[in-house]
Structures are given as structure tokens and as C-alpha cells.
Structure 1
Amino acid sequence: MDSAAVLLLLTVTARTLLHVLGTESVTALYGETIVVPCNDGAPAPEDLMFVKWKYEKDDGTPGDLLIQQARSSEATVQATDQYAPRVSINHKLSLRITQASLRDQKTFTCMVVSDSNLMEYPVTVSVRKVPSSVQIMDRSAALQKDRATVVGTCVAADANPAATITWKKNGKPLVADGKTVLITPSMKLDPASGLSTTSSTLQYAASKEDNVSVFSCMSTHQLANQEAELEPFAIHYPSEKVRLQVLSKVPVVEGDNVTLKCHADGNPPPSSFVFHMKGQKALVNNSDTYTLTSISREAGGEYKCSLADNEKMESSQSIIVSYLDLRLTPSGTVRKAIGDSLLVKVEQNASGEAQVSWIKNGQKVKLPEFTRLTYADAGVYVCELSMPGLTRRHSFELIVEGKPEITGLNKHRPDGASYKVLTCEATGVPEPSFHWSVNSTNEESSYINGKATHKISVIPKLNLTVTCSVSNRLGDDTLTINVSSVFKEEKKETGSKEESEDQSKLIVGGVAGLLIAAAVVGLVYWLYMKNSRQGSWKTGEKEVGTSEEGKKLEENHPTV
């Protein structure tokens, strides 16, 4: 303080009475500007001489900050320490301190000097700071069932006063019980800034249901509350049950690949299992499946799986292998003669009840019985044996053979045609070949189920006798038919009425002449017989007659 100010202060003190009012308080925010009002912001007295701000140092001694004369618009900074660049006064005589820190938590006094009074207004400053961050650190990857595991550490950093931390599960506060819930709080003070960092570590013994639980921590402070939240945890627990599954289709058929899957309810799931297969064991690492390739009927039975580190914890399943055997007699291609018999035999061996069905040439039929084979019996026969999930098929082709036999030979002249159609029908296997004794045109043939038909067209100019011949490697057959000339038929059909009448007359005359001739012959024959009996002539031959008649003839006709 300069000598003039000291002199002025002494003069005022000698003339006035010092009044110190009760201490007020101001709360400021860390890092912001502190505004300390003088006399709670009341107007300055009219006879104001000057205003002075001072404070109490850490060692208890007073320290001057600044002074402003009533007649001056600017204050004189008296501080020489860290307040020198930070203090100022506003038009209301309030003290302004920039960049508030915890070191500013002091009592600042406004001294108002007038002609009649000297008043002091002490103000206590408190600096508050909200935590710079609230976060959960050291989060565990998973929680252990029924065993206290660290959930995480909640940290509320750099606050004043220190924040209070509360743990919650699904929005409800957790209370430490020393068994399921363990909470360990701590606080650290920064010696440089004076700020406090509060920490709280939560340990929790989880249940399986906690895999959907949400843990959070709440930071409670005078100025604001903040919350940090964790995603749900995986809950780890040992396996309590083991289950064996058969993943293959049902029923299991001989020759299938069968996959066994061992499932344990632990979390994380076990990575190694032991599969027990009819007295044998197989250890499988980093997998929970085992495949039986091309399973046989003898492989049916009970299968087990267990944990690799605890074979007493096991599960079992029975596997039934379905099988089906079919043997058909005959098989392949069977050649039989028509009229023969054929025995069909089916043998089966199955793990269950099987159904037998027959198919001939794509159509379902009954069990074939061949006591006397016909051509109609020929075909491809399929025997099908089936049960759920399994089918077997075997087949044979039956060929019924026989030498050809002609069953029909006929002729036909279509209306208005100038030719005749000859049709020869025959049976026989192999297919017979046809041969005609005449030249022909427009040949047509068909062969179905041992029945052959062959048609030809002919134009007979004369009456003909036509032969149809059929043959295969087993024999042959022949049949003939008379075929009249188409020209004679046309002439008869196209002649005039007179010609027809003349022909009729000729026919009648011819018949009459024949009758007359017959009568003459009869008369001559009668006379001949009569004369012979009277011995009118003698022949050199011996006549047939009685001995008496012979004698009479000799007597009446002596030898010439």
C-alpha cells in the first residue's frame, strides 16, 4: 500500500467507527469466474471515499487484492501473488476472480470507506466441480454362477466435493451383503488440483437368469447426477446335464451315415467329449459331433456320450438300424415255351414287417402264377419290397416263345376298289415273318403280345389260289385261300340287262338239254338191261348173276 493510501486510511479510521457485518457465502464453479458481491450488491454510500478488497491468506495473514477510489473509474491492483492477473472489480463494486480453483475457497472481505463509516463485508467462497467423467472400468468378460466375480469399477473423476457412487441392477440399488453383493469404495485426492476421484468396485455372484440383467452405477453430486451402464453379461457355469442326439434321418437305414451330437448345458459349452460305442470309446476335441459312416445292421444298439473331464456325466440313445433283403427267383431274362409253367419265388429278410407288391410293365398286378404260359404273360415283372424308409426292387423279364400258327386268312374288297385286301393273322414268338405266293402292294403289319397281322393288296387278273406262309426260328405254318379275278367280277357287275336275260335263257336251255339227255341215257340204259336179260348179245365177259339165269342164257343163246 502506498504512503498516501495509508495516510488516508489512518485519517478515516480516526474519524469513523469500523463495522464488520456477518459473513456471506458464494458458490462458484471450478474454472469459471468468481463474482464476490460487496454488501450483497447494495449501492455504495454517497460519501464513498474508496472500496478495498482483501483476503485471508493460508497462513492467517491479510492480503490486499485491489482498491478503487470514489473519483476513479479504474481500480489499483495491490496483489502481488497469483491473484494479481486474475482480479478485477465491476461497476457494482463486486470482486471478480477468473479461473476459479479450489485454492480460491477463502474468505474475501469488501471494505467500504466513507466520510462517516468504514464497513467490512466478509464473503466465504466455495468452489464446486461436477465429475469430469463417470465410467465403468475393468469390466469382466463374463460372470460366474454362484461365485462373486468382479462386475467392474465405477469411477467418478475430478469432483469437488467428492461424488457418491451407487450400484444398481435392472434399475434397483444393490446393497452389499458380503456374499452375493460385495462393494469396495475408495477415494483419491489430487494434491495439485485438490479435486477428488471416487471409485467403487462391485463383485457379484450371478445366477443363470442374470444373462439379461443390466448393471449400472450412479454418481451423485451436489450439482448433478450421472449414470454409466453396462451391456448384459454372459453367465458362466459348469455343465449340469448332458444330452445325446442322433442327427440322422429316421429311420436309420443300413448303409447310412449317422451323426451323433453331444450337448452339455454349461456355459461356455464344453469343447471335448467322449463317445462310447458298443465297448469302444472315442475322444473328440474341439467338436461336439461324431459320425458313424455306412452303419451296418450289427451296429444297432445303445450309444453314450460324456464330458471329457467327467465321464460320469453322460447321456445315452438307442439306435435301431433298419435293413431289408430281397431275393427273387427267377431273375434277369427268362425264356419259356408257350404252355409251360413257371414258379416265381420271393425270399425276404427284414428288420420289421415289409409289404410286397408287383408291377408288370408299369401297372400294378397280383402275385404272378404261371401254370400254363400264354403270350399275354410275357412282360417285365418288378417285385417291390418296402417298409418305412426302405425299399428294395428286383425284376425279371419273361419271354414266352412258340412256333407260328396261322389263326386266320381272309380276303376283302373295299367298296369301289379295283383291288383286294388279303389279311393273314398268326401267333408266335419270336415275331414271325410273312411270305405270300403273289406279288403285292401296300403292305401293313403289326405285332402285339405275340399276335401278328399282315395285310397286302393284290389285283388278281385271273382266279388265284394264294398261299400265306409264316415262320420263325421255332417253325412255320401255311394256309391258302382262293381269290377270284376282279375283272370277271367287274364284267358280271357291269353287263347289260339283255345280256343278262340271254344268259338266263342259255342257262335255262342248257339245263333243259341236260334233263333231256339224262332221260335218253336212262332209256338206253333200261333197254340195254332188258335186252341183256333176253340174251340179245353176248360179251366175252362173265356176267354177274345167278346160276339158273346163266343156264337159261346158254340155252336161249347158243354160242355162235
Structure 2
Amino acid sequence: MAAGAAARDWVLVFSLWGAVVGAQNITARIGEPLVLNCKGAPKKPPQQLEWKLNTGRTEAWKVLSPQGGPWDSVARVLPNGSLLLPAVGVQDEGTFRCRATSRSGKEAKSNYRVRVYRKGSGDFHGATFIKGKGSSPSRAPWSPEIPGKPEIVDPASELKAGVPSKVGTCVSEGGYPAGTLSWHLDGKPLIPDGKGVSVKEQTRRHPETGLFTLQSELVVTPAQGGAPHPTFSCSFSPGLPRRRALHAPPIKPRVWDPVPLGEVRLVVEPEGGAVAPGGTVTLTCESPAQPPPQIHWMKDGVALPLPPSPVLLLPEVGPQDQGAYSCVVAHPSHGPQESPVVSISVIETGEEGLTAGSAGGSGLGTLALALGILGGLGTAALLFGVVMWQRRRRQGVERKVPENQEEEEEERAELNQSEEPEAAEHNAGGP
């Protein structure tokens, strides 16, 4: 059986003779067999030789010899000392070396630099490829696998000045050789410095095709006061002469320049927060922060299960709606900020002196105190007016009493005067 296997190998050698390459720089078509000749090797066993391979399939130099078994069906040494690659792949690009010692003790070395190409390509790089026995050498084409244009995935729509933010991830798939990715800002190259600009790169190779996938994630810290809409772009460079770079469509995220935090105000309508049963109360949270932050609502110190909104509407207010309300402004770069508290109260219809809600819990007490003072002053003024009116009335009565007495005395005097003449006349006419 060993003889039969050796015979089959010799038949394969002669059938593939046209693929034997003797030049130092060679090319091979992907998917087809390749035979590399070992110069100076004895034509018959036993042979003293070894092959060393350094390709995309090996982490370092790998050694093959006639006595060793086939290497994962990738390559094996034939009986004449030649190296057979049954099906050349992209990962077989690299360096092949053979060192052989003849029966007379003479040593010979063979070195090959193998590159692969795709069928139908038209690029020529000067390697000699022998078509068949006795035929003349011809120029063999070699072509890299150029991927499509790179793409920026997960692009950012907004960035914050002074805050490290991810711009996006540039992806290039299906290239060979690997090539490189690079970022640009407003047409100028971005150089990673680990501070304002950082790049995380990743390279993967397909286990079957040998083609590369590149990823490059860009994180920047925009300067405050910079351009509001910078232009970021990514490009793929094949790393080959006379090959143009491929550019991804640019993106223009908006840069927010946070301003110092101002006071958060909580406006209540109706003013004061006091409302009759069934009425409506509107709370509006005002914040000067930019960009507009998310606003959440709290009642009596507990977060309300409501979606973020700058306005809180309380329709058909009842006793269950009474309490202390506040809004919380969420600043991504500064942390949360809470507004002063506003008290909402329900006042039954007909009650006098409606009390008003108070900001921070103190406005209601102050307003109630003011109304109490005004009510006390009004009552005191009323009492004072009544007292004065009664006093004046009493003084008027006192004034009328003497006048009546004088009139009575005058009447009495007149009557006395009239009675005295009558008495005198009566006395004069008597017997």
C-alpha cells in the first residue's frame, strides 16, 4: 500500500508539473493546487530535507519533513521532496523555505515568497508563472480583495462639550490585505492622544476566506466654545501602491456646550396652589439648562410614576391631590437638581380667606399670617368705630337734655308771669 501511495504521489507531481514554480516571487490562484520545488533534493528516498513555512496559517515558522504527516491537509511533502498545497487560500500567503542535503553532502536552499490572486483579475506584479512543461513564461496576475466603502455604524447625533463621547464605529469588511482605518475631523487626520481623542481598533480574519474585518471606535472630548456641527469621516486604506483610499459618508453630530446651572423654578397655576374641588392645577418646571434636560416629578418626597415632562397637569383636583410637589431636573453632566416645593391645597366652596400654596413650605404660613393680621386690624377698626359712634350718640343725648330743661323753665316762667297779672286784676275787682 505504501508503494501504491508513493506511485499516486508521483503521478500527482507530474500532473501538476505546470504549477511548479522556480522563481523567488510567485503567485498562485485561489482554490487551485500549488507545488513548490526543493532545489538540490535527492529524487529518491531517503531524503534529507525540511520545509519551513511562515504564512497566515502559522503563528511562527512551522517545519515539515518527508517523515512527518500531512499538516491538516493544508500542505505535505511529496516523495521527490517538493511541497504540495492542494488548494491555495488567502492565508497561504507568506514565505516558504526548503533546505536539502544531497547524497554527496552538498546543501541547497530554496526561498519562495507566495502571493495569491483571484480569477479574472488584471493586475500584474512581475511574478513569473510557468503554465506548462516546455511553455514559455507568462505574466501572472495578482489582485487584492478590496472591500466596499467603509461604514460608520452607531453614529452619535449629539456630543457634549467637555465630556468624552463616542462618535461612532467605522467598519470595513471583506478586505485583503488587512489595510488600515483612519478618522478625520473637518478633513484633517485625527491623531489619538489618549486624552481628547482615543481610538479602539479590532481586526478579525475569517477562518475560511481569510478576508479581514476591521473596526475602529472613536471617542472624542469636544472643546467648549468649538464648532457646533463638526464633520467626522472615516477612510479605509488598502495599504497597496496606487490604491486610493475608500471613504465612508461623513457624519455631523451636534455639540452642546453646557452653560452653568441656573435656578430651577416651579410655577403653579392658579397662583398659590389653592383650588376648589374639581378644579385644575398646572405645574410648570422652568430650567435654563441647555440642552433641555429630562424633568421628573415628586410628591411628598416620592417620585411620581410619570414620563419625563416639564409640565404636570392635575385635572379634577380632589383631597388625594393635596401635598407638596417639586420637580427634579436631570443634568447628564452636572447631576440632578430639585426645585423648591409648592403646596397644593383643596378649599371647600364658601370658605373665607382662601389660603395660598407656598414655595418651600413658607409662603402659605406667611400669607395666612398676613391675612390674620389684616383681619384683626379690620375687626379692631370696626369695634373702634362702634365705640366712637356710641360715644358720639351719648354726647348728643346729653346735649339735648339741658336744652329741653331750659325750654321748660322758660315756659314755666312765662306761665308764672301770665298768672301774676291775672291774680292782681282779680284782687283789684274783689268786694
Fold shared by both chains (TM-score > 0.5): no
- Structure index of larger Rg: 1
TM class by shorter chain equals 0.3 to 0.5
- TM-score scaled by structure 2? 0.37
Q: Which has the higher contact order (CA 8 A, sep 6+)?
A: 2
TM-score (norm 1): 0.30
Determine which structure has the larger strand proportion and give its number: 1
